[in-house]
Amino acid sequence: MAKYEFGQHILDTQKPDVDAIAAILSDDTVDGALFAAANDVKTREYGNLVFVRGIIEFSNHCRCICAYCGINAHMDKVTRYRMSADELVDAAVDAAKVYRTVILQSGEDMYYTADMLADIVARIKARANCTVTLSIGERTLAEYKLIREAGADRFLLKHETADAALYQSLHGVPLENRLQAQRTLKALGFELGGGFMVGLPGQTDEILARDLLTLKEEGVEMAGIGPFIAHPDTNIGKAKDGDAHKTLKVLAIARLLLPRCHLPSTTALNVKGGMRDALLCGANVIMQKATPFAFRKLYDIYPGRDAQDVPLGVQFEELEQRLSELGLKAE
Ligand code: SAH
């Protein structure tokens, strides 16, 4: 198989189909060619730059019951916390001294009204020159609109799995709600970050192919693709973790399907030791924790997350160093 054949097949086909993508996913003989093609496309689009973002996990209260998530509403061993608006604004302004983009993430915590969130965003924007991304789950159009008008630039809301039955069984609510929320965000002018997990119990290569095509259909500008990691306290805590190698293949195909899309080496993939490989097969973004130390261990959505108390500036420099060893440059 020639080096570029798979890449070009996907890129050239007007309507890349599920079967072709599923075939690539199940054929390990193509991996070298696939990864090289994805790295070529990434390098063509972004050179050697890696965009580094700081993420602040500001509340682990959540109304949802997502079966995979260690802070879902049913997890009664979790010590719950939420940062005050002042704490969050200060933490974001500090993070913006190191990172150009600050991501504010939480469970679906209705304590923060849209007015509060809009005020928080506006205060951050007034004090810091940074892009603000929210990752706070589903809200109404009116709520998203307020937050957007306050100056929020981007929004991360993954579709998690494109299979309607699997989505419903994991979340207890329909996939359509999630896709509708993504469309609302896009219509409001947010840059949309989507994504999904690899290796969810019951997932097949055909479903993964549909996950990839969903990114294209929904027109995401960023996509977080990470392996499922079983959290022992959840109902699916004994399930097998997602495979890092399979995740890399999915990431590489995403790069070929969506050449300009921002693709992080996700935190979950990094937990599995996949960061270096991800950066060499299509990923162009890394997220680093900027959550105040006191809260880091409590945002326990899955095990193994790095919760070390390293100052942000040092953390960033260490990453710069690691990237430079790969010929890459932190932005
Ligand atoms: N409450 C927000 C933020 C979710 S946490 C929201 O619903 O959008 C961010 C991401 O972590 C999720 O979108 C999911 O893809 C991922 N995640 C959660 N639990 C996980 C697990 N057990 N393994 C791997 N990824 C997980």
Q: Which domains does the chain have, with CATH numbers?
A: 50-330 (3.20.20.70)
Q: Tell which atom from ligand 1 comes closest to the C-alpha of 229.
A: 23
| pLDDT reported for residue 2 | 39
CA of 128 to the centre of ligand 1 (A): 27
Nearest residue by C-alpha to atom 12 in ligand 1: 158
| pLDDT reported for residue 13 | 53
pTM of the model: 0.95
Amino acid at 95: A
Q: Is 58 in the pocket of ligand 1 (CB under 6 A)?
A: no
| pLDDT reported for residue 17 | 85
CA of 325 to the centre of ligand 1 (A): 30
Q: How far apart are CA 138 and CA 314, in angstroms?
A: 34
Q: Report the SS3 class of residue 148.
A: helix
CA of 194 to the centre of ligand 1 (A): 11
- Which residue stretches of the chain have pLDDT < 70? 1-15
Mutate to test the pocket of ligand 1, among 69, 133, 225, 272 (most ligand atoms within 8 A of CB): 69
Mutate to test the pocket of ligand 1, among 58, 158, 214, 228 (most ligand atoms within 8 A of CB): 158
Q: How far apart are CA 291 and CA 104, in angstroms?
A: 9
Q: How far apart are CA 218 and CA 220, in angstroms?
A: 6
Q: How far apart are CA 18 and CA 301, in angstroms?
A: 30
Q: Tell which atom from ligand 1 comes closest to the C-alpha of 156.
A: 8
Q: Distance between the two ends of the chain, CA-based, in angstroms?
A: 36
Strand partners, 101: 53, 131
| pLDDT reported for residue 75 | 97
| pLDDT reported for residue 3 | 41
Q: Is 137 in the pocket of ligand 1 (CB under 6 A)?
A: yes
Alpha helices for the chain (secondary structure H): 5-12, 18-26, 31-46, 85-95, 114-127, 141-149, 164-171, 175-187, 205-218, 244-257, 267-271, 275-279, 293-296, 312-325
Q: Is 302 in the pocket of ligand 1 (CB under 6 A)?
A: yes
Backbone angles phi, psi at 82, to 5 degrees: -145, 140
How many C-beta atoms surround the C-beta of residue 12 within 10 A? Answer: 8
Q: Tell which atom from ligand 1 comes closest to the C-alpha of 107.
A: 1
CA of 248 to the centre of ligand 1 (A): 18
